[in-house]
C-alpha cells in the first residue's frame, strides 16, 4: 500500500508544481522552500497594519517535501525539531536575499503559504512571524470540499516523504490554513544579509 501511495504522489507532485508554476529560487541544496508568483484572492489586513488588496502580487511559499529531514520512527525529537527549524529559518533568509537581489520582484506585497496542519504546528508558524488565517471553519459547499481534498493530499505527501510525521496525527484533525507576512515585515526579519553566507546548521 505504501509503495502505491508513493508511486501516485511521485507522479502527481511534479504535475501540480508545473501547473502552479512553482520554481526553485536558490541553488542551495539544503533549502526547504520553493516559490511561485501569484496574486492575492481577497482583501486582508495583516497584523503589522499592511492592507493586502485582491489582485496584489504575492509570493506563494511551497515546502520542498523531498528535502524535509527524515523524522525518527518514534516521531520528532528535540534534535530533529532543532534541525528542521534552523533549516527553515535559513531557507527564509535565502528567500529574502532572492527578493532583495531581484528588482523585478519589488512589486511583491506579501508572502503567503497554504497547507493543512495540526494545532501544534500553528505555534511554529506564528513564531516565524506569520499571521494565520483558518480557512475551513468558514468555508461552505464546494470550497469546503476543496479544502478537504487539499487536506487529504497533504496527508498523502506526509505519508510519502515523512511517514513518522503522522504519528499521533489523525486525518480528521488536519485543518487548512493560510499564513501571511507582508514584504516589509519579512525583509525586516529575514533580510539584510547581502553577500554574506547563510549558515544552515546540521546538528
Residue 81: predicted pLDDT: 83
Q: What are phi and psi of 99, to 5 degrees?
A: -60, -45
pLDDT for res 115:
77
Distance of alpha carbon 51 from alpha carbon 9, whole angstroms = 37
Cell numbers placing 178: 493560510
DSSP symbols for 103-158: GGGTT--EEEEEEEE-HHHHHHHHHTTPEEEE-TTT--HHHHHHHHHHHHHHHHHH
User: Which pLDDT value is given to residue 111?
Assistant: 98
Domain boundaries, the chain: 2-190
- Helix, coil or strand: residue 180: strand
Length of the chain in residues, anyone?
203
Contacts with 102 (C-beta within 8 Å, 6 or more apart), sequence order: none
Question: How do the pLDDT tens digits run along the chain, 203 residues long?
Answer: 557 766 666 676 677 777 778 899 999 988 999 999 999 999 999 999 999 999 999 999 998 888 888 877 776 778 888 898 999 999 999 999 999 999 999 999 999 998 776 555 778 888 999 999 877 555 556 666 766 666 666 666 666 766 666 665 555 566 778 899 999 999 999 998 644 445 444 44
pLDDT of residue 143: 65
Amino acid at each position: 500500500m505504501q509503495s502505491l501511495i508513493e508511486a501516485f504522489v511521485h507522479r502527481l507532485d511534479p504535475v501540480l508544481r508545473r501547473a502552479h508554476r512553482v520554481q526553485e529560487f536558490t541553488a542551495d541544496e539544503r533549502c526547504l522552500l520553493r516559490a511561485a508568483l501569484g496574486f492575492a484572492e481577497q482583501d486582508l489586513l495583516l497584523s503589522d497594519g499592511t492592507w493586502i488588496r485582491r489582485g496584489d502580487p504575492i509570493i506563494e511559499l511551497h515546502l520542498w517535501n523531498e528535502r524535509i529531514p527524515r523524522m525518527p520512527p518514534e516521531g520528532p525529537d528535540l534534535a530533529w525539531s532543532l534541525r528542521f527549524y534552523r533549516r527553515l529559518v535559513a531557507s527564509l533568509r535565502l528567500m529574502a536575499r532572492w527578493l532583495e537581489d531581484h528588482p523585478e520582484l519589488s512589486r511583491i506585497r506579501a508572502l503567503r503559504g497554504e497547507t493543512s496542519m495540526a494545532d501544534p504546528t500553528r505555534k511554529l508558524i506564528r513564531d516565524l512571524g506569520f499571521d494565520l488565517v483558518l480557512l475551513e471553519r468558514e468555508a461552505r459547499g464546494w470550497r469546503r470540499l476543496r479544502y478537504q481534498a487539499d487536506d487529504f493530499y497533504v496527508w498523502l505527501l506526509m505519508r510519502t516523504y515523512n511517514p513518522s510525521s503522522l504519528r499521533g496525527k489523525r486525518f480528521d484533525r488536519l485543518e487548512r490554513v493560510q499564513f501571511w507576512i507582508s514584504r516589509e515585515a519579512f525583509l525586516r526579519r529575514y533580510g539584510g544579509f547581502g553577500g554574506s553566507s547563510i549558515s544552515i546548521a546540521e546538528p
